Amino acid sequence: MKALTFQRYGKSPDIGFADIPRPTLKPDELLVQVHAVGLNPIDNIIPKGTFKPVLHFKLPATLGSDLAGVVIEVGSRVTRFKPGDAVFASVFDLGTGTLAEFAVVPERVAALKPPNLDFVQAASVPMVGLTSWQALKERAGLGSGKKVFIPAGSGGIGTFAIQLAKHLGAKVATTVSTGNVELVRGLGADEIVDYRTQAFEQVLQGCDAVLGTVRGDAIEKSIGILKPGGRIVSLVGPLDAAFARARGLNFILTFVFGLMSRKVRRLAGKREVDYSFLFVRPDGEQLKGIGDLLESGRIRPVIDQVFPFEQAKEALDYLALGHARGKVVVTMR
């Protein structure tokens, strides 16, 4: 079968199409014919080797983390799905990829595709949906009467996180450029800061939570807009020792990650706020709950561009520019 793979880690990962064997199933897995793949920034970061100590792939490795498609075969212990079912899933952090004609998906991370979504729409959801759910609902405890700052509201994660935060009853502040103000307002954003003309840390205050989505010094600046007892959940780092311990990493990496996050944790401590780094985990039950919200229309996918499989590398390059309004999706069929 055809797949988009990378051969090595580093500045020249040699990304390209390759013919690889069709995967074989374990008893608890599904074989899915992939119809569409939603791209995420991590798909461009992995080949660079940034997360090599944490994420483990057998090289050459297939790229891609999210998919929507049709089950064509199930393992002997699978009980929730059957051939012919339309499903969506994220296989991030499972050592496999989705930019291929077929993909293996553990039963525990899959969910039935919402019937009102096509495959492109469904493929755009898994990682951003699960990340938003785990960051805002689980870790930040967002709910009615709370206020959250979600930077880069017009991006892939931002467009979903704003809608989920509003569903949870929170007030949402975000940053965008002038041309994206109406987009995020339509998604439910309450306070909108044009980052080209205003500094968010001089405008916003009284937040209960911050979703860290922007690299650089944005995390440190976010500390000042939080109430005492507030939480920063970062998706972009710095990594911390708690993350290393949760993954069972060795003492050296735990120590290094602790050093990496020392400054931001010290600043957070002074303001009596909590800092943590989040690595999304695939979860079929949570994805089912997200699917229910999509089916009801309470949350809608936001798609920027759709590329054919033959242009998957160009799709990744486009995503890397950082200007997408919503998600970039590759369609396989």
Q: Domain holding 153: CATH number?
A: 3.40.50.720
If one counts every other C-beta atom within 10 angstroms of the C-beta of residue 217, the result is 10
Instruction: Give 274's strand partners.
Output: 231
Per-residue exposure over 5-35, b if at least 16 CB sit within 10 Å of its own CB, e if not: bbeebeeebebeeeebeebeeeeebbbbbbb
What residues make up the domain containing 182? 128-277
Rounded to whole angstroms, how far apart are CA atoms 150 and 7? 35
177 and 256 assigned to the same domain? yes
Contacts 24+ apart (CB under 8 A), 198-207: 200/149, 200/151, 200/173, 200/175, 200/225, 201/225, 204/149, 204/173, 206/147, 207/147, 207/148, 207/149, 207/173
71 and 161 assigned to the same domain? no
Task: Please report whether residue 154 resides in a domain.
Answer: yes
Task: Please report whether residue 296 resides in a domain.
Answer: no
Backbone φ and ψ of 49, nearest 5°: 90, 5
62 and 194 assigned to the same domain? no
Task: Please report whether residue 318 resides in a domain.
Answer: yes
* pLDDT at residue number 254: 95
* pLDDT at residue number 53: 86
- Do 282 and 125 form a contact (C-beta atoms < 8 A)? no
83 and 56 assigned to the same domain? yes
* pLDDT at residue number 150: 98
Instruction: Check residue 102 and report its DSSP letter.
Output: E
User: What pLDDT, in 10s, does the model give residues 258-272?
Assistant: 999 999 999 999 999
Residue where a domain terminates, one of 277, 293, 311: 277
88 and 218 assigned to the same domain? no
143 and 268 assigned to the same domain? yes
Task: Please report whether residue 290 resides in a domain.
Answer: no
Task: Please report whether residue 323 resides in a domain.
Answer: yes
Task: Please report whether residue 327 resides in a domain.
Answer: yes
Task: Please report whether residue 293 resides in a domain.
Answer: no
269 and 134 assigned to the same domain? yes
87 and 200 assigned to the same domain? no
149 and 117 assigned to the same domain? no
The total domain count for the chain is 2
70 and 176 assigned to the same domain? no
* pLDDT at residue number 141: 95
pLDDT tens, the chain, 333 aa long: 999 999 999 989 999 999 999 999 999 999 999 999 999 999 999 999 988 888 989 999 999 999 999 999 999 999 999 999 999 999 999 999 999 999 999 999 999 999 999 999 999 999 999 999 999 999 999 999 999 999 999 999 999 999 999 999 999 999 999 999 999 999 999 999 999 999 999 999 999 999 999 988 899 999 999 999 999 999 998 999 999 999 898 999 999 999 999 999 999 999 999 999 999 999 999 999 999 999 999 999 999 999 999 999 999 999 999 999 999 999 997
* pLDDT at residue number 146: 98
174 and 71 assigned to the same domain? no
Task: Please report whether residue 294 resides in a domain.
Answer: no
- Structure tokens, 16: 């390209």
* pLDDT at residue number 333: 76
> Which helix (H) or strand (E) segment is 259 a member of?
helix 251-260
User: What pLDDT, in 10s, does the model give residues 57-74?
Assistant: 999 999 999 999 999 999
- Do 161 and 176 form a contact (C-beta atoms < 8 A)? no
44 and 157 assigned to the same domain? no
Rounded to whole angstroms, how far apart are CA atoms 19 and 35? 18
Instruction: Say which CATH number the domain at 8 has.
Output: 3.90.180.10
